[in-house]
């Protein structure tokens, strides 16, 4: 018998986050933190490397959202406003529904995070630091437009920071207020849940397919520097 973990005794362990999704998440966290530090320190070469890695990760995640494992697929978790409202009503009424993958509200934050990080990295491609550095796609837009896009790169970072803060506060809120630990599953891949909440059919995609897709995305992102 394991220790009582606050779940019903018939709770089952379900592998929800496949390896590529977990690696994507934690490498993304490290790279975004690194991109921030290197930007502040004027370490442009490393800022570009991390930014391109982030771009590759985001494109990978978009593809993995179509061909990846069950709970990584957008079709399994992106829901309309009706589902979000139903979810919110149930949660505020004290009947927090259990989801194997992202819940309908979490899905919105996933989309916001992917959009914010993706936009930030894309803007960086066209940015310049007015001294020595020009982003790999600078020459496509020229000096004036690059200046505008660099300004947007600065402003977008504040939006990104806000979205990330909401994300982290939400995850901690789930743990403290709803007693729903989302963090451990994002590390181990496994969630404990009531058998009734587990979907009948769970599609799996081998991790090496994810690795191959990520390698192609990485080559594509770094290939952009050849265009500079």
The residue from 57, 100, 149, 164 that contacts ligand HEM (CB under 6 A) is 164
How many residues touch ligand HEM under the rule CB under 6 A: the total is 45
Q: Record the tokens describing residue 15, joined without a space.
A: 């592998």
Largest CA distance in the chain: 67
- Compute the C-alpha angle 223/226/228, nearest 5°: 125
- Contact by Cβ (8 Å): 33, 51: no
22 binds ligand HEM (CB under 6 A): no
CA distance from start to end of the chain: 60
Instruction: Please give the C-alpha separations between residue 43 and each of 36, 37, 132, 155, 169, in angstroms, as whole numbers.
Output: 10, 8, 12, 19, 29
Shortest CB 193 distance to ligand HEM, Å: 12
Q: Which of residues 128-147 bind ligand HEM (CB under 6 A)?
A: 128-129, 133, 135-136
The residue from 57, 59, 100, 125 that contacts ligand HEM (CB under 6 A) is 125
**Residues near ligand HEM, by CB under 6 A:** 21, 24-25, 28-29, 32, 35-36, 39-40, 47-48, 51-52, 54-55, 61, 72, 102, 106, 110, 113-114, 117, 120-121, 124-125, 127-129, 133, 135-136, 150, 153-154, 157, 164, 167-168, 171, 182-183, 186
């Amino acid at each position: 018998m394991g220790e009582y973990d606050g779940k019903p005794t018939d709770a089952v362990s379900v592998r929800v986050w496949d390896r590529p999704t977990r690696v994507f998440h934690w490498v993304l966290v490290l790279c975004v933190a690194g991109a921030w530090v290197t930007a502040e320190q004027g370490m442009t070469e490393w800022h570009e490397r991390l930014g391109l890695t982030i771009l590759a990760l985001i494109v990978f995640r978009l593809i993995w959202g179509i061909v990846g494992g069950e709970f990584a697929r957008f079709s399994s978790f992106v829901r309309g406003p009706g589902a979000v409202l139903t979810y919110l009503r149930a949660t505020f009424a004290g009947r927090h529904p259990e989801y194997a993958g992202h819940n309908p509200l979490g899905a919105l934050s996933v989309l916001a995070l992917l959009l914010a990080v993706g936009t930030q990295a894309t803007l960086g491609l066209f940015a310049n630091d007015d001294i020595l550095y020009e982003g790999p796609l600078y020459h496509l837009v020229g000096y004036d437009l690059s200046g505008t896009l660099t300004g947007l790169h600065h402003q977008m970072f504040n939006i990104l920071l806000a979205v990330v803060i909401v994300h982290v506060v939400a995850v901690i809120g789930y743990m403290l207020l709803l007693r729903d630990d989302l963090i451990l599953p994002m590390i181990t891949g496994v969630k404990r849940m009531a058998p009734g909440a587990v979907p009948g059919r769970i599609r799996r995609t081998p991790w090496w397919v994810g690795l191959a897709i990520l390698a192609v995305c990485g080559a594509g992102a770094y290939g952009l520097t050849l265009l500079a």
